[in-house]
Amino acid sequence: MSSREKHLVELVDETGKAHGETTVAAAHQPPGQLHRAFSVLLVDPDGQVLLQRRAAVKTRFPLRWANSCCGHPQPGESLAEAANRRLSEELGAGPVELTEVGVYVYYAEDPATGRVEFEYDHVLRGEFLPGAPLLPDQDEVAEVRWADPTALEAELKLDPRSYAPWLGGVVNRLLRPAESTSGATGPAMTPPGSSADDTAERSGGR
């Protein structure tokens, strides 16, 4: 077990209210425990978003394309602090200015590893400046690429198995922040017991 699997995460209800804590590893064991998480999309001045392909050693959805960076704030840690910490650890990037563009709850099971994602996900937009350094950690990130977010939505529908099942919901919040309300349940919310072969994966909800 990696050291990060032993870190604590904040357990929450579906309104985002905290009610306890557990380890990363325990939160992602079936049937999953709803906990606070964040998803960062770095956006350049032309509106392109940075994607990362998750490393093969990841315990959830390895080798899938996902948003720039994901993670969990530890109990008592602010979202901005946690997100910039993970941007530094995964991509050698940051710190960057972050704006929350939406929140949603999602559930997905990884058929390859048996782990579960059941998260109250804060979607954060980060402004990426041209020329800023990117030094991906090969233990975290297999490769990176830039993509147009509107075109990416179409790609997700055509080839969902190449992407992490949460990416569609993250991109949706980025493109339509006015439709995102704090505590809102995402369109791809799937109840425990459904596999990643079901609605959560097909529709792209994280």
Q: pLDDT, tens digit, for every residue of 165-181?
A: 999 999 999 999 876 55
pLDDT band, residue 201 (cuts 50/70/90): very low
Q: What is residue 40's predicted lDDT score, i.e. its pLDDT?
A: 98
Task: Tell me what pLDDT residue 126 has.
Answer: 97
Contact 67, 54 (CB under 8 A): no
Is 68 strand, coil or helix?
coil
Q: What is the pLDDT of residue 129?
A: 87
Confidence of residue 193 (pLDDT cuts 50, 70, 90): very low
Q: Which pLDDT score, from 0 to 100, does residue 191 have?
A: 29
Model confidence at 204: pLDDT above 80: no
- Of the residues 119, 143, 153, 155, only one is catalytic, namely 119
Per DSSP, the chain holds a count of helices (H) and strands (E) of: 5, 9
Over the stretch 108-128, which tens digit does the pLDDT of each residue have?
999 889 999 999 999 999 999
Catalytically annotated residue among 69, 70, 109, 201: 70
* Domain spans in the chain, listed from the N-terminal domain onward: 3-174
Does the domain at 3-174 match CATH 3.90.79.10? Answer given as yes
Cα angle value 161/196/149 (rounded, 5°): 45
pTM of the model: 0.85
Q: Is 35 annotated as a binding residue?
A: yes
pLDDT (tens digit per residue) in 57-103: 998 999 999 999 999 999 999 999 999 999 999 999 989 999 999 99
What is the CA angle 92-174-105, rounded to 5? Answer: 95
| 97 assigned ligand-binding residue | no
Q: Has 70 been annotated as catalytic?
A: yes
